């Protein structure tokens, strides 16, 4: 059995809700007291459209701020990775220098252990002086990360402009600033058009921001993989040097 009589319109409840809201359920404008019920309903619908448009603009502003904040964190992570890569490069250079010192020590131990080592070394030509080490160039990350970092660093001013703690947020929206009366709806249309334009601009900037975030993420991934390879290489050198140190230490003990 149907819950409504045959003559009942199921959409009538929505109409009644709109009428109730227009009478006093959320619409309060004493200047419209002389308007007819259809005019009051039209005025309320217009205000609802404005509120919805402003809500969409505010939501896009918050989303844009989150994108800028994520991009800021990404640039800071990239800079930290670059410092880490520089530290790895310096460490590898130090390990290489220690390996050369171990080779020199090994030659001296071999000379001491040999009966004729002293005579051989006396008549042996002196080794050429080792040239001073050249200053290593500054660490260069992958070109993909460097390009993405440069592009994202250029957007820092937008991050500062959009961050809630770094700017003064507006206290009123388009719906609140809408005049209570208008001629043929022109002022309201202009405000609505401005809100739509702002929303379109925000969406375009969100697309650009997401594209930069993607490039930054790919650059970070490539840099991490590159540093992982460098770290594996460094660990191999350290393990090899550890074996040489143990061997040299044992040889020195045997000389006693």
Residue 135: HSE in the Cβ half-sphere, 13 Å Cα cutoff: 2
Q: Identify the weakest region by mean pLDDT among 18-22, 95-99, 112-116, 125-129.
A: 18-22
Q: Is residue 5 part of a domain?
A: no
List CB contacts of 42: < 8 A, sequence separation 6 or more: none
Q: Is residue 193 part of a domain?
A: yes
The domain total for the chain is 1
Residue 87, token pair as written in the block: 């530290």
Q: Is residue 204 part of a domain?
A: yes
Q: Is residue 119 part of a domain?
A: no
d(CA 74, CA 149): 8
Q: Is residue 66 part of a domain?
A: yes
pLDDT of 216 above 80: yes
- The pLDDT tens digits for 116-132 are 555 555 555 555 555 55
- The pLDDT tens digits for 162-206 are 665 555 444 344 444 444 444 444 466 788 888 889 999 999 999
pLDDT of 213 above 90: yes
d(CA 25, CA 41): 12
Q: Is residue 23 part of a domain?
A: no
Q: Is residue 17 part of a domain?
A: no
pLDDT of 211 above 90: yes
Confidence of residue 13 (pLDDT cuts 50, 70, 90): very low
Pairwise pLDDT comparison (76 vs 28), residue with the higher score: 76
Largest CA distance in the chain: 123
Q: Average pLDDT of 154-161?
A: 77
User: What pLDDT shows up at residue 256?
Assistant: 63
Residue span of the structural domain in which 190 resides: 61-89+139-169+181-255
Q: Identify the weakest region by mean pLDDT among 3-12, 190-199, 225-234.
A: 3-12
- The pLDDT tens digits for 233-255 are 999 999 998 898 888 888 777 77
d(CA 90, CA 97): 11
User: What pLDDT shows up at residue 27?
Assistant: 47
Confidence of residue 32 (pLDDT cuts 50, 70, 90): low
User: What pLDDT shows up at residue 3?
Assistant: 46
Q: Is residue 188 part of a domain?
A: yes
d(CA 13, CA 144): 59
d(CA 37, CA 53): 24
User: What pLDDT shows up at residue 222?
Assistant: 92
Share of the chain above pLDDT 90, in %: 30
Residue 119, token pair as written in the block: 């005579």
pLDDT of 8 above 50: no
List CB contacts of 202: < 8 A, sequence separation 6 or more: 57, 60, 61, 63, 64
Q: Which helix (H) or strand (E) holds 214?
A: helix 186-255
User: What pLDDT shows up at residue 19?
Assistant: 43
Question: Would you say 78 and 224 are in contact if contact means Cβ atoms under 8 Å apart?
Answer: no
- The pLDDT tens digits for 60-75 are 999 998 999 999 999 9
d(CA 20, CA 256): 105
Confidence of residue 91 (pLDDT cuts 50, 70, 90): very high
d(CA 188, CA 195): 11
d(CA 79, CA 153): 11
d(CA 226, CA 237): 17
């Amino acid at each position: 059995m149907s819950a409504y009589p045959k003559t009942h319109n199921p959409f009538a409840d929505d109409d009644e809700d709109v009428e109730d809201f227009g009478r006093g359920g959320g619409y309060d404008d004493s200047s419209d007291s002389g308007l007819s019920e259809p005019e009051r309903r039209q005025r309320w619908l217009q205000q609802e459209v404005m509120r919805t448009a402003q809500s969409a603009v505010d939501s896009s502003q918050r989303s844009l701020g989150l994108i800028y904040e994520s991009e800021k964190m990404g640039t800071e992570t990239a800079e930290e990775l670059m410092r880490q890569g520089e530290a790895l490069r310096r460490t590898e250079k130090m390990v290489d220098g220690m390996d050369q010192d171990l080779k020199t020590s090994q030659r001296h131990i071999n000379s001491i252990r040999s009966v004729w080592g002293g005579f051989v070394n006396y008549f042996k030509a002196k080794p050429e002086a080792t040239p001073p080490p050249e200053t290593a160039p500054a660490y260069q990350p992958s070109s993909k990360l460097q390009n993405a970092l440069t592009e994202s660093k250029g957007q820092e001013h937008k991050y500062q402009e959009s961050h809630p703690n770094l700017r003064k947020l507006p206290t009123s929206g388009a719906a609140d600033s809408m005049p209570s009366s208008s001629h043929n709806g022109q002022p309201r249309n202009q405000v609505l058009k401005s809100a739509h334009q702002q929303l379109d601009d925000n969406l375009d900037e969100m697309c650009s921001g997401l594209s930069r975030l993607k490039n930054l993420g790919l650059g970070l991934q490539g840099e991490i993989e590159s540093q992982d390879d460098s770290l594996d290489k460094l660990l191999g050198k350290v393990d090899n040097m550890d074996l040489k140190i143990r061997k040299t230490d044992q040889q020195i003990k045997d000389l006693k």
